Structure 1
Amino acid sequence: MALVETGGTERAMTTHFIELARAAAAEGRVTADELLALRREGWGDGIITRAEAEALFALNNALDERSEEWVDFFVEAIGEYVLNGAPPRLQCSDAEAEWLIGQIDHDGTVESMAELECMVRIIERAENTPDRLKNYVLGVVEREVLTGAGPTRCGGELSATHISAAECRIIRRVIFASGGHGPAAVTRFDAEMLFRLKDETLAEENAAEWDELFIDGVANFLKGFTLQNAQVSHERKLELEAFVADNTPNVARFMGKVAREVPQVGNHFGKVFGKREGGPDYAALAAKGEAVTDHENEWLEKMIAADGEVDELESRLLARIAAGN
């Protein structure tokens, strides 16, 4: 495993970290002392390197049991690498998402709740994540529901197609995460996934949370609360950070000249340069998009007609939409 080409101290810390991880992997368990040592080494230089992150994945794959303390550390450390390992902070690039999925999906399956929770927490924390990562997580959960096997299950004891409380929580966290298309923004991909799960599990003993999750999610999509401009792309965030970091006299002179020559602009810098007083008014944006369009009506009719009947959940969804809440 390659080590980071940085200063000698960082290289030494990375080497020691990897040695600790490999020793624990050989034993198939992480003791309390080993976990403490990993924490000290990992945060000692303020960063988690790719070599360290990959060592943690190798260790997680080797563990016979994963304690809550281990899962907390693993999720925290991998999230730190993905979101803050390279500028801009709190952004997950396409390359980082592909790396993460590659580490988790190397054998074609998600092995543990630690890996699943790791991806969900990154989506929740990030200001922006690629659709590829979000859709991958939802695909994993959908397969688990339909097969009864995976990290959210203990052998699929009830049936292969029921929706568990753990799966409901993960789906809700992902489709309403700020790192998706925007806060409270449910996409067509998400809504169609909810319909597929509903159709496959209609007669099963699903978790109590499922009914409201289905109705909340599809109603949200139909109301059009997508906030297409709520996120700044990874590339644009880099450009903006570079501009803010540029403290050269040229930039200062330019801003001063604008203020002097166009006083009214100087008095309204916030408006001209996009300063936000209290952030977006999501309530107003949601209200603006509440009307269900003809296109959305056609989509809904198609989804409901797919199985040839209007079931109880679909009836409740229609009632919610009609009530306008």
Structure 2
Amino acid sequence: MSGFRFSFPACVIAGKGRIVADDILMLRKYAFPDGICSSEDALVLFALNDSCPEQSPEWSTYFVESLAAYLVCDTDPMRRIDDAKAGWLMRTIAVDGAVRSALELELLLHAMEVASEVPESLSAFALDQVRLALDPGARGAYHAARPASAGITAFDLTYIWRVLRGAMERGRLLLSPVEALVLREIDELTDARAHHPAWREMIAAVATYERPKEVLRSGPWLVTDAGHRLTREVAA
């Protein structure tokens, strides 16, 4: 987000190139006394994250929890992530489909965990971070964090189960066709001899289903810093 125009106190923090605990107190007091209330507020946090490579642990917590709360709990539809919310999040945190930073990857996972409902497009996107890490042109934050291995590791399985939490029912892993497709593509990119044993168990448990199509209507949801209006798809 180069060229982003900050106001006080974000401009002071961005100028330092680092964020410490006292800076977060300033943001809470002067910039966001009522929390993150708009897409403009959210974009300030993303821009600060980009501008400050030196970050305290308090920033990680504040960034993830504040943005997840805004996305999931403070915008309609409440407590759910619909296709429009998912699209906005994916466009904001990723470049060419790959999540840019570890903190933004944690935001993605945390938002999915606190939401009561997540569209298959977002869960498939989260799973696709594993595929991108295994691809010959590996890239993205997940690739940077993943231990080198030709097979699926315990690290990968922990991540995948965070994405697919709640999908297991009566011994079957109930996935949409697109989610199952990403898992198959991951499997094809890996060396079966190097897999953690639990990977084969997961693949064997996959069962696909077609999600019912909802009747949708469009309405305003977010406005970006440039004034561009996004639309949300809300179940009628």
Query: Shared fold (TM-score greater than 0.5)?
Result: yes
Do residues 30 (structure 1) and 19 (structure 2) align? yes
Higher relative contact order (CA 8 A, sep 6+): 2
Do residues 103 (structure 1) and 92 (structure 2) align? yes
Query: Compared with structure 1, are the counterparts of its residues 18 and 49 closer, same or farther at alpha carbon in structure 2 (3 Å cutoff)?
Result: farther
The Cα RMSD (Å) is 3.4
Aligned to 2:122: 133
Rounded to whole Å, the distance in 2 between the matches of 1:83 and 1:155 is 26
Do residues 74 (structure 1) and 60 (structure 2) align? no
Aligned to 1:151: 141
Q: TM-score, normalised by structure 1?
A: 0.54
Tell whether the 8 Å contact from 1:176 to 1:186 is kept in structure 2 after alignment: no
Rounded to whole Å, the distance in 2 between the matches of 1:42 and 1:162 is 46
Aligned to 1:181: none
Rounded to whole Å, the distance in 1 between the matches of 2:183 and 2:95 is 27
Tell whether the 8 Å contact from 2:132 to 2:143 is kept in structure 1 after alignment: no
Tell whether the 8 Å contact from 1:191 to 1:218 is kept in structure 2 after alignment: no
Tell whether the 8 Å contact from 1:29 to 1:64 is kept in structure 2 after alignment: yes
Give a deviation string over 1:175-207, Cα, whole Å, max 9, x none: 2357xxxxx63233333332332332225645x
| Unpaired stretches in structure 1, ≥5 consecutive residues | 2-14, 179-183, 240-325
Query: Compared with structure 1, are the counterparts of its residues 158 and 131 closer, same or farther at alpha carbon in structure 2 (3 Å cutoff)?
Result: closer
Q: Which protein has the larger Cα radius of gyration, Structure 1 or Structure 2?
A: 1
Rounded to whole Å, the distance in 1 between the matches of 2:130 and 2:30 is 34
State the SS of the aligned residue for 1:221: strand
State the SS of the aligned residue for 1:138: helix
Rounded to whole Å, the distance in 1 between the matches of 2:193 and 2:10 is 43
Aligned to 1:176: 165
Following superposition, the deviation at residue 115 of structure 1 comes to 0.9
Rounded to whole Å, the distance in 1 between the matches of 2:109 and 2:41 is 21
| Worse-matched range after superposition: 211-220 or 131-140 | 211-220
Give a deviation string over 1:109-152, Cα, whole Å, max 9, x none: 42211111111222222122222222222222210122454323
Rounded to whole Å, the distance in 2 between the matches of 1:175 and 1:199 is 20
Rounded to whole Å, the distance in 1 between the matches of 2:76 and 2:191 is 45
Task: For 2:27, give the aligned amino acid.
Answer: L
Tell whether the 8 Å contact from 1:146 to 1:162 is kept in structure 2 after alignment: no
Tell whether the 8 Å contact from 2:36 to 2:42 is kept in structure 1 after alignment: no
Query: Compared with structure 1, are the counterparts of its residues 84 and 27 closer, same or farther at alpha carbon in structure 2 (3 Å cutoff)?
Result: same
| Unpaired stretches in structure 2, ≥5 consecutive residues | 168-172, 217-232
Aligned to 1:215: 201
Following superposition, the deviation at residue 41 of structure 1 comes to 4.9
Query: Compared with structure 1, are the counterparts of its residues 47 and 195 closer, same or farther at alpha carbon in structure 2 (3 Å cutoff)?
Result: closer
Aligned to 1:167: 156
Aligned to 1:271: none
Q: Select which of 52, 55, 66 maps to 1:63.
A: 52
Give a deviation string over 1:132-173, Cα, whole Å, max 9, x none: 2222222222101224543234487635x4434433222111
State the SS of the aligned residue for 2:116: coil
| Worse-matched range after superposition: 40-49 or 30-39 | 40-49
Q: How many residues of Structure 1 are paired with residues of Structure 2 in the alignment? A: 210
Tell whether the 8 Å contact from 1:172 to 1:213 is kept in structure 2 after alignment: no
